[in-house]
Structure formats: structure tokens, C-alpha cells
Structure 1
Amino acid sequence: MSSKFIVALISVVFPAMPAFAQQRLPPHATLIPAAEISLPGPADSNSPFVWSLDGSQVQVFTSIDGQVQQASGPTAFTVGTPTAVAWVLPPPGGSWMESVVRDQDVLYGYYHSEVTSPDCDNNGRVRPRIGAARSTDEGRTWEDLGVILESSELSLCDTPNQYDDGGVGDFSVILDADRTYLYVLYSSYGPSLASQGVSIARMAWADRDEPEGALAVWQSGLWLPASASTDSDGATAWTYPAGTPIYPARRSWHSADGIADAFWGPSIHWNTYLRQYVMLLNHTSTVAFNQEGIYVGFSARLDDPGSWTAPQKVLSGGGWYPEVLGLDPASGTDKEAGQEARFYMTGHSSALIRFERLPLTSPLRKKSQGRSGPGAQ
């Protein structure tokens, strides 16, 4: 009997186990109480950190009431008194600097701004949008590069929502590992339930100095570009597609009964221990943004938005704008952290967040052992 025949016979009688026989469960995150600390300035948005090129100084940007402040020091926990940043020409609607990316000696900032909707007549609500800025003096002065993402949907002028009648904002950005694309994870407050939740867009990093119209929005599995038109003054206007949410709302931000069920305000970082991206999320239960809890999701790939895991609850209630601060000297920021990191909400931290890899599981073995847990017969 030839050796080839024996190998073929063995492969028929004992077929190889399928590739999916073992799977790793999503990571897990827990909070560990720690001494309370706060950022150097008050914050009502995400607060980015960025290190100097030589790793000797870290800067933190905090924003409140549409004003940005900057503080710096040798560590993230020993920074000086914050001072207001300057703008060459400030963006309309104020600015909340939610993310900052270093590119050699240039800083690129990404801000949330809030303008009155042109569709509504002074209804006491705002229509947020996302813009970009550039600094060549380590963040002390910023040049506005324009709006890079806004909603294409009309505002809902008679909304019961306490703050927003539409728009997009409350976001976080991260640059991919090979610095090809900048990814923007953002909250959508448009009138359509299908568009509400946390969505994602991306821009070629090569377009960072001329970012208007450069973002492509993820919709139904495709990255769809903005479309250009010319307004009455001859200026180019950009219309962005509505995104397909990674984490969709289940009840509208504009529900007449005041009850909402929606994720918003993501913050994202690369976790060096998990070798995955981690997204922290707010979850609201009302149109007044009452906090139901803080959640976390995981993904190994930015370019596959469908790969994000189902959100896991980390904390009931809590404050807004959950984010991490990595603890590694000269590299830990809100965009990079390890197994343990500081956990902040609205600029205050009284806990560490610890990430754990869960063991491999075998669906075939679990099936042979029978069912367990709720509903088992």
C-alpha cells in the first residue's frame, strides 16, 4: 500500500478539525478603585493627551463651554496650570478639542462645534458638527481647517431632546498603524432612528492639510465619499452620507415620551496588551442624556467596522465622556494604553480599568457537555 494512499485514507477517516473549532472570547474590562485625581482643567468632552517628540513633556487639552485649554508637564499627572489656546480665526459655534494627532512637529486637532440649525427658529437646541485644525507651535495656537463632517439630514426642530435637534459630534479619532487612514468614530443625532448611534468614517491621512470633503462614511459595508456642490456664493459645499451605525440606537434621541436607548460619545485607543482597539461608550436612557451606564467594545481591525464586539457593561450610571489614560512613560495617552490604565469620566478619575484576555473556547466541546446557563433544559 503506497504512502499516498495511507495519507488519503487517514484524511477521510479522521478529517481535520475545522478552523473555527476554537475561538477566543472577547476581552473583558473591570474597574479597580484608585485614589481620585482630576485633569488640570474642567472638561465636558473627551480630553486628548499628546507627547513631545523627545518624550520629555506631555500636553493635555481640556474643553468646556466651547473653550479649549492646554496644560503641559513631565508626566500626565504633573502638569501645570492650564491656559486658553489661541485661534487664528475661531470656528463658529465654539470648539471642544476631542482628539489630537502628532505628525512630527505639527499637531492636528479635531473638534466638536455647536451651531444653531438653519432649519429651526431659535429653538434652544444645537446642531453639532466636526471640524479639523492645525498647530505648528505645540498646541498654543490653532488654525481652523474647516468642517470635515456634518449631518445631511434636516434638523427636528420640535424635538424633545434636551440639547440636539440633529447633527453629528461627540467623537474620537485614531490613526491606523501604518498612518494611511484617520478613523473618526462619532455620535449621530439625526431625526432618522436608522442613522442614530455610533458610526465611523475615515480620511486618507495624506489629506490632513485639506480635510474638507475628504471623509468617507461607512454605510452598508461600503466607504462612501462626500458629494460636492456649489452654493450661491460659488463656494464648494459638501454633503456626507448618513452612516450605518456600529452601535445603533434602539430608541430614538427624539422620542416623544422622553425615553431613549442609544450609545454615544465614543473614545477609542489601541491597547498594547490586548493587541486590539478598545472603544468606551456612553449609554443613555433618556432624551436628556441621563446615563444608564458605561460600555466597552473591542476590534482587531479599524477597516472592518462590522468586527466590533457586542458592547459589554463596565459601570452602571457614571459620568459622561469615559476615556483611558495609558500609564507607560512617554507613550501612554488617551490613544494608547496597556493592561491597566486610568479610567476617566468628565475629567475625573477614581478608578483604574484593567483588561483581560479570556481563554480559548471550543464550541464543539461545549456542545458535547450540554447546555448551561439561563434557559438550560
Structure 2
Amino acid sequence: MVVAEAGDAALHVTIRTASPVTLHDRASWRTDGNSPVRLAHDGATAFYSSYAPIGHTLRRRGSRDLRFEEPPVAVTLLDDPDPQVGKWIEAIWQDPGGALHGWYHGEEPVPGSTKLFVPHIGRLLSRDDGLSWRCRGELLRLPGDLVDPSWQNGFVAGGYGDLCVIPDRAGKTLYLFFTSFHPDEQAQGIAVLRLPAADPLAVPELWGRDGWSTSRHPAPRPLWPVVRGWRHADPDSFWGPAVHYNRALEAYVMLLNHTAGADGDLVQEGIYVSLNRDLADTQGWSRPLQVVRGGGWYPEVVGLEDGCGDTEAGAVGRFFMAGFSAWEIEFSRPVAGRTTGRPLAPTRQEFAHLFGSDRRCPW
């Protein structure tokens, strides 16, 4: 049954009901952060994260239809230089026949604050299919003298995090999309860096005001400017991107969280999608189209066809919010002269009906 439809000059999106599934088990309230999912002939592997007691990631095996019968297993960081800092594995990539690469979002508490933290992005490497990982250094960190404990958003005091990674179609370049909480508001929002697929541990190139740069501390150039900066209690900004390649559109689709009207609680105003046919064209993303009003943090699409997962899908895929899915999502080309604006607007009552009244609603 169709429950939402939205379209503009760039694309058309339809959301339908589907049988409820979750990436996490009942020991976790919800998933926290982007959740990498891989599909192979022998089933699905999902990595999801929890924030309690500190950020950590679990690995879960299931069937290709994302039914998970086996209990999750906490992954091991073999040489974590600071195990007191929470780390969420939010993206993975594997060159055929090679090691599994991962990227994490780490959170360090701000001295003197009980609420604020500063996120950074680091690299990991696994040779046992993601059961254990070795830390391979930090990728992006805000200098300590730029951290500002006076920020009022209730979560961050600067930094970089909430990320995803996707290769280009040639398999030569990896693009890492992330959220910039840089103190300069002109550098805040969804940003991007790139790495050579032949050497993901190389020095990254960051997209900044002067184009691609390997400078140590350049200011990112956001894909969309913030309306109201992250130092405020009520920022107005896109954040937490999740990108997949859509086979039907032959283009890349980015799902976005959007916060506005918050009061130190990062309230979710909605979820949006944007389209781009070429990852190298950083200015090629379409104007974000709203597909959910309200909803939960961390939306993503998981494709169920051969070779798919959270970074690739056909015309139809599973739509997740915070690790919950009771919907499938279909992307199609726009209909000339027709625009549609009927976003999904889930309620707590509907959530309880779909997933059980004992489940805490993530919105």
C-alpha cells in the first residue's frame, strides 16, 4: 500500500508498507548512526551501533531478506589507542579479494561539560569479515583550540562525523560524505572528501573553498549552506548523509536528516533526498526533496538485489529509520509537469502497531 509520494523535477519517490524488520535486536533501543549492510549469496551482514555505555558496534548475520535470527556479536577493536572514546563503525568497503576497510565516528567528551562532545572520523581494517578491526589512524579531526563548549545544540561543540562512504562506478575513488560542525558557519553542513580506492589509507582530499585539497586543516565547503548554525540551540541544517547508487536511475541518491526548530534536542524536522549523476560533481546534487515529515534519525536505503546493500539498490529498496523498517521505497524518473508533496508522517501510535508497544519509538 502506498503511504507517501513525493516528486519534483529531479526524481519521484514512492513509499509503501512492508513487513516490519529491524537491524538491531531487542537489547538495543535503536540503531545509532549509519548502519553498513552487505548482501551476498549466503545472506546479509549488518553492522549497527549503540551509544550505551559508550559508542560501540555490533555485527549481525541474517538472510537476504534482512531477517536476523542469530544474536549480534560486538566487534573487537584490537589496538584501540583510546578505548574510553566511543567509536561507531558507520561505513565499510572491500576491494574484491582484499581486506575490509571501515570508517568510524568517534566522540570525545568536552572538558567541563556533561553533555557536549566533539566527533572525529577514523579508519579501521579487518581481515576476518568485520569481527575484529585494527585502528589505522584518524582521518579528520578539528583542532582542539577550535572546540567551543558554549554551543547550545545539546550534542556537539565542533568536529566532524555522521558519515557514509561510497565508491564511484569505476571503482577508482571512494567518496566519504560527512557532517561538518566546523566553528565557521560557512563550513558547516554536509561535506565530502575523497580517497583513492587503491590506497584508502592515503592522505584524503577534502572539498573546500578552493576545490580539492590535501591541506591538513582546510575548512570544508558544504554542499548546502546551513540556515542557522550549530552553535545555536535550534540549528537549521542538513546532517547525517546516507548515499547509495540507484541502478534504476543510474545515479546516486543521498538521504539526509534535517533539523530545525529544536531546543537543544536536535529535533528531526524531516528526511530529504537528493540526486546526483556524478560523484565528482560536488555541485551536481539536486535540491533536497522532503520524503518524511518528522521521523527518526539516520535514514538509509538497503537494496535487496545481488551485490546490493546500503550503498547500492535497484528501483525498490528497504527504507530504514534508526534501524527500523516497515516500508519499501521506490525511486523513479520524474513525470513531466507533475510535482507531488505527500511525505510519510509516521506517528507513535503507528510505530507501536508496527513494531510492538514494548518498543521505544525513536521519534
Q: What is the SS of the residue equivalent to 1:207?
A: coil
Alignment of 1:162-177 (within 5 A): 162-177=154-169
Matched, 1:311 2:304: no
Q: Which has the larger radius of gyration?
A: 1
Q: What is the SS of the residue equivalent to 2:238?
A: strand
Does the Cα contact within 8 Å between 1:50 and 1:100 map onto a contact in 2? no
Letter in 2 for 1:215: P
Matched, 1:60 2:43: no
Counterpart selection for 2:277 from 294, 300, 304: 300
Letter in 1 for 2:38: V
Q: Which residue of 1 aligns with 2:67?
A: 78
* CA drift at 1:124: 3.2
Counterpart selection for 1:101 from 93, 98, 107: 93
Alignment of 1:226-241 (within 5 A): 226=215, 239-241=216-218
- Unmatched 5+ stretches in structure 2: 1-7, 338-363
Partners of 2:112 and 2:67 in 1: how far apart?
46
Partners of 2:180 and 2:265 in 1: how far apart?
15
Counterpart selection for 1:358 from 324, 327, 334: 334
Counterpart selection for 1:89 from 67, 79, 82: 79
Cα distance 1:78–1:350, how it changes in 2: closer, same or farther (>3 A)? closer
Q: Which residue of 1 aligns with 2:149?
A: 157
Q: Which residue of 2 aligns with 1:282?
A: 257
Partners of 2:81 and 2:321 in 1: how far apart?
26
* CA drift at 1:71: 1.1
Deviant stretches of 4+, over 2 Å: 120-124
Counterpart selection for 1:243 from 220, 232, 237: 220
Partners of 2:20 and 2:225 in 1: how far apart?
33
Q: Which residue of 1 aligns with 2:344?
A: none
Partners of 2:217 and 2:199 in 1: how far apart?
16
The Cα offsets for residues 58-102 of structure 1, whole Å up to 9 and x where unpaired, read as: 211011111111011342523321111111122532211111112
Q: Which residue of 2 aligns with 1:11?
A: none
* CA drift at 1:176: 1.2
Output the TM-score relative to the length of structure 2.
Answer: 0.83
The Cα offsets for residues 22-74 of structure 1, whole Å up to 9 and x where unpaired, read as: xx93112232222221113441111101245xx32321101111111101134
Partners of 1:207 and 1:106 in 2: how far apart?
11
The Cα offsets for residues 264-319 of structure 1, whole Å up to 9 and x where unpaired, read as: 00000000000000000000012421000000000000001100001000010000
Output the TM-score relative to the length of structure 1.
Answer: 0.80
Matched, 1:266 2:241: yes
* CA drift at 1:221: 5.6
Cα distance 1:101–1:91, how it changes in 2: closer, same or farther (>3 A)? farther
* CA drift at 1:360: 5.5
Identity %: 34
Q: Which residue of 2 aligns with 1:113?
A: 106
Letter in 1 for 2:89: M
Letter in 1 for 2:153: N
Aligned length: 316
The Cα offsets for residues 103-134 of structure 1, whole Å up to 9 and x where unpaired, read as: 224211111000134xx534531100111101
Does the Cα contact within 8 Å between 1:169 and 1:186 map onto a contact in 2? yes
Q: Which residue of 2 aligns with 1:138?
A: 129
Partners of 2:81 and 2:10 in 1: how far apart?
40
Counterpart selection for 1:31 from 12, 15, 30: 15
* CA drift at 1:323: 0.1
Partners of 1:318 and 1:202 in 2: how far apart?
30
